[in-house]
A and B are shown apart, each in its own frame.
Chain A
Amino acid sequence: MDLKDLYRDVIVDHNRHPRNFRPMPNADRHAEGFNPLCGDRLTLFVKLDGERIADVSFQGSGCAISVASASLLTESVKGCTVAEAGQLFTRMHELLTRDDASADTATLGKLAALSGVRGFPARVKCASLCWHTLDAALHREAVPVSTE
């Protein structure tokens, strides 16, 4: 497994310059995620327009994988319905954990850049933290999400 499979240019770029990295004072939903293994902490904010995610942003600190993954998430789910975001969550989970994940990564867009994480099992939680946190923001009570 080559390091560049994990740290692809897209990921390095999103880590250096995370998109939608800002607080959202008027958010309808927010949730906190915590990965005790490496100390990743992030807060995800969502502004809803009916069933549609009108805006999404995040704050926090973490490793390159967790920051880039959260940044890519915000770009991907903005404009999605809650149901569509849920489907993306499922597909990302497969992409990160299943060796036999369908090769149909083209429709995932930039999110496909995270497929290399699969080869580094210790880092899967870093990439999935933001997705679990989004899921909590959209569906669950306001308790911090932990990957442990």
Chain B
Amino acid sequence: MSVAPASAAPAPARRQSLDVETLRRDFPVLARQVNGKPLCYLDNAASSQRPRAVIDTISRYYENSHANVHRGVHRLSQEATDLFEGARETLRRFVNARSTREVVFVRGTTEAINLVAQSHARPRLQPGDEILISWLEHHANIVPWQMVCEQTGAVLRVIPITRSGEVDFEAFLGLLTGRTRLLALAHVSNALGTVVPVGRFIREARRRGIPVLLDGAQAVPHLPVDVQALDCDFYCFSGHKMCGPTGIGVLYGRESLLAAMPPWQGGGDMILAVSFERTVYNELPWKFEAGTPHIAGAIGLGAAVDYLEALGMDRIAAAEHDLLDYATARLAQIPGLAVVGTAPEKAAVVSFTVEGVHPHDLGTILDHEGVAIRTGHHCAMPVMEFYGVPATARASFAFYNTRAEVDRLVAALHVALEVLA
């Protein structure tokens, strides 16, 4: 048996770009038809699709290993616990948290933000204290703060955005006061695609001792995220936007802050000992996971991370960036089309309006052509108000989309213009 020298081994495939045509076969749904046409799925910012690896992992778990976690001494309970906690370790590594104590499973980004609002912010806030968010935020990063402000008498301050859809850094500096208690920012805007240069915002906030929460729902599926490098205090994201199941997501929290926070919900799993006189809460992260968790969801999310990492987050980002550039150039050729949100750094999201055609009509006509996009306010009504539009059409791309699908979007938009304009 001969062993080839290492130098003769083929170059690692990681540096090559993604083989999209092949990996598309990993996604069963991409083979289906809509209205007699191949599905062209461009609504990834709302929710991505699932590769077979994730679907199979969940099925396998239910078929072979399901039992409740952290409880039984029997075999299935141990297997389920190992798979569940193994997924937590996968997620820890994925965002580079220091330990799994900092990785709390939640229902999704929305629940993660609510947890921080109620468990971190609410006990600390005094009347007149300030919470700072930006104009770009998804409703999930607005309403929980409004609620906690109502509960405590704190005040919500909003950093304005520029015409291009960037968070105004100078205005942010002016809004930092001695009463600012928390900065909650989108990492990537869901409505416009803006990648917020969060590093400089975090530095300024942390320098003043202000904790920072990032809404990473739109960032984690598309960019490599390292919570230690970001130096944020909380980072929230959802499984279903990153090829994982719905109903599962992660709250990363800096351990010192999580340790100081009271539990979010009470129940089983979040306790060590209960008597009617006194309950001893469980350790991190289980202190924040009352009740039987979404075990299959967490395991499926772990499988999604494995899938994404095998492709390589850097290659995913590069593939999506290529689609963004191509789509932006192609859409610019459509008469009357205006792109909303033109920040220099964007994720693969193109929000747009077409003169004389309401976004909702675009959505119906595109669907008729087999092209799925989102139309509406994208759960970011203040952003729509800022641009003076009731709604936009939004095409959002994933790594499994192709330039040919961008062409189909463009062709379908021409159909819409023929029908309505």
Q: Residues of A at under 8 Å CB distance from B?
A: 1, 3-4, 6-7, 12, 15-16, 36-41, 61-65, 67, 120, 122-123, 126
Chain A residues with CB below 8 A from B365, complex form: 3, 7
- Given A12-B420, A63-B361, 16 more pairs with CB closer than 8 A: A3-B368, A3-B415, A7-B365, A7-B420, A36-B377, A38-B360, A38-B375, A39-B377, A40-B360, A61-B358, A61-B390, A63-B359, A64-B357, A122-B364, A123-B360, A126-B360
Whether A12 and B419, one on each chain, are in contact in the complex, defined by CB atoms closer than 8 angstroms, is yes
Q: Write the nearest CB–CB distance from A62 to chain B, whole angstroms.
A: 7
Q: Does B376 have its Cβ within 8 Å of any Cβ on chain A? A: yes
Chain A residues with CB below 8 A from B420, complex form: 7, 12, 15, 64
Whether A120 and B376, one on each chain, are in contact in the complex, defined by CB atoms closer than 8 angstroms, is no
Whether A38 and B419, one on each chain, are in contact in the complex, defined by CB atoms closer than 8 angstroms, is no
- Which of A1, A4, A36, A64 makes the CB contact (< 8 A) with B361? A64
Tell me the number of A-to-B contacts counted with CB atoms below 8 Å.
57
Chain A residues with CB below 8 A from B323, complex form: none
Whether B390 and A41, one on each chain, are in contact in the complex, defined by CB atoms closer than 8 angstroms, is yes
**Closest residue of A by beta carbon distance from B369:** A3
Q: Write the nearest CB–CB distance from B378 to chain A, whole angstroms.
A: 11
Interface residues of B in 359-414 (CB under 8 A from A): 359-361, 363-365, 368, 375-377, 384, 390-391
Chain A residues with CB below 8 A from B384, complex form: 39
Chain B residues with CB below 8 A from A41, complex form: 390
Known A-B contacts A39-B384, A122-B364, A123-B364; A64 and B358 likewise in contact (beta carbons under 8 Å):
yes
Whether B364 and A39, one on each chain, are in contact in the complex, defined by CB atoms closer than 8 angstroms, is no
Q: Write the nearest CB–CB distance from B238 to chain A, whole angstroms.
A: 22
Whether B360 and A3, one on each chain, are in contact in the complex, defined by CB atoms closer than 8 angstroms, is no
Can you identify 30 A-B contacts, CB atoms within 8 angstroms?
A: A1-B368, A3-B365, A3-B415, A7-B361, A7-B365, A7-B420, A12-B420, A16-B356, A37-B360, A38-B360, A38-B391, A39-B359, A39-B376, A39-B377, A39-B391, A40-B390, A41-B390, A61-B358, A61-B390, A62-B358, A62-B390, A63-B359, A63-B360, A64-B361, A64-B420, A65-B360, A120-B364, A122-B364, A123-B360, A126-B360
